[in-house]
Each structure stands twice: as C-alpha cells, then as structure tokens.
Structure 1
Amino acid sequence: MARSLVIKATTGADGAERCNQAFTVAAAAVASGLRVSLWLTGESAWFALPGRAKEFELPHATPLTDLLGAVLAGGQVTVCTQCAARREIGPDDVLPGVRIAGAPTFVEEISLPETQALVY
C-alpha cells in the first residue's frame, strides 16, 4: 500500500502563513507521489469555491490557485461538512473534484495503515 498524507487546513486568510503551508505541503506531497487528502476546515473552506483561492495573497508564496490545482489534479480535496454548513456552502457551490464530508470520513482516512496526518 502506498503511503498517504492527510492534511487539515484550519485557517484561511486569518492565518495566511499556516494556510499556505498546508497547501504547499499538500502540493509537494502530490508531486512526490504520495496519496494526498487535503481537508479544508474553518475559514479555509472558502477556498473550495470558484475564484476564492485567487483572492488569497501571501508575499513570496506560490499562488494558492496553483497549489490547489495541483492537489485537485493528483489528490483529494474535502470541505468539512459542518464548516460548509456554517458558511452555507453546498455541493453545487464547490469546485469540480471537491467533496463535502464529515468527521467519520476524516477518521477513516487517518486510520488507514501507512497514513500520516498533519494539521495546520
């Protein structure tokens, strides 16, 4: 079984460096061949919507749209069910390839053998 990395982003623009780090690590892990699952929780949930990642700016950082695109191309992106509901984000609102799922799915993913979970 291939190694997996599950990354939970817990901030958006309110914690720009932590948010960018989560996306950067996820994209780098995809590029290195790991199975990657990026979870968007809290304010990072907004980046699942079309155009929202483009609004994010952090000096000297790869654009969030590029990082998100890399993860979507080679991994899984999930928005937390409760986080989506609190922001009135539904399945029809998110980018193609993004799913909405809850804690049972997160626990299932992080419990798989050969899986490392990181929270930013």
Structure 2
Amino acid sequence: MARPLVIKVTAGADAPERSNQAFTVAAAAAASGVPVSLWLTGESAWFALPGKAAEFSLPHATPLDDLLAVILGSGRVTLCTQCAARREIGPDDVLPGIRIAGASTFVEEITLDDVQALVY
C-alpha cells in the first residue's frame, strides 16, 4: 500500500499555477490509489463552495472542478476552520463531502507513520 499523502494548498485564484499544481498532484495521487487528504487553506478556502472551482480557469490545465471531483471521490477534503471563519463559510455552505477542521486535526494527519506532507 502506498503511503498516505496530505496536501495543504494555501493559494487560490491569487496564485493560479500553485493552486492548480496542488489539486493536480492530489487528483493524480487519488486516481493512482494513494490515500489523499487535501487541505484548503487561505484563498483556496473559496473552492469549498459550490461553483467556485468551476469558475477557476488556467490555460492547459484540467478544470479544477474535475480535479476536485476526483479527490472527493476517493480521498478527503478539509477546509481549515479559521480560514472558513474569516470568510464566513459554515458547514452548510460547503460542497458535500468537505469537512471543516482545525490545526489539531491537520497535525494528527501529518504525524501519522509514513505520511508524506506537501504544502503548496
């Protein structure tokens, strides 16, 4: 079994290539059978809302909503508690399958044996 991958994406539409790279790596890993946990923090928090990933566009890149669907289909997506609060995003606002959790949950995930953590 492949070791789990935890990816934290800190960028959104403000840094489209960095943001897209995080989603691309997460989706590729999930499609390959790697256990994936994607954390939406900072400006990427907006992608937890319905329709926001579909609004994102980057030339020569797979649509972000397609990548997010792959990740949600076989992995886990978490919206940072503080990031959600700063943007007035609540649990009823996010896409089905996205949870809201904080730093203690992130630390718990990244300190498990054999986990690889990446930050974009």
Normalised by the shorter chain, which TM-score bucket? over 0.9
Corresponding position: 1:3 with 2:16: no
Equivalent in the alignment of 1:63? 63
Size of the aligned set, in residue pairs, is 120
TM-score of the superposed pair, with normalisation by structure 2: 0.98
Partner of 1:72: 72
Partner SS for 1:13: coil
Alignment correspondent of 2:94: 94
- 1:15: which partner in 2? 15
* Aligned mates of 2:89, 2:109 — CA distance in 1: 23
**Dislocated runs of 4+, deviation >4 Å:** none
Are residues 1:116 and 2:116 paired?
Answer: yes
Quick one: which amino acid aligns to residue 23 of structure 1? F
Which amino acid in 2 is paired with 1:28? A
- Answer whether contact 1:2 1:114 (CA < 8 A) is retained: no
For 1:4 and 1:114, how far apart are their aligned partners in 2?
7
Which consecutive unaligned segments of at least 5 residues does structure 1 have? none
**Structure 2 CA distance for aligned equivalents of residues 30 and 68 of structure 1:** 10
Given the two structures, how large is their TM-score scaled by the length of structure 1? 0.98
State the secondary structure of the residue aligned to 1:33.
coil
Alignment pair present for 1:82 and 2:82: yes
Question: For 1:114 and 1:33, how far apart are their aligned partners in 2?
Answer: 16
Letter matched to residue 32 of structure 1: S
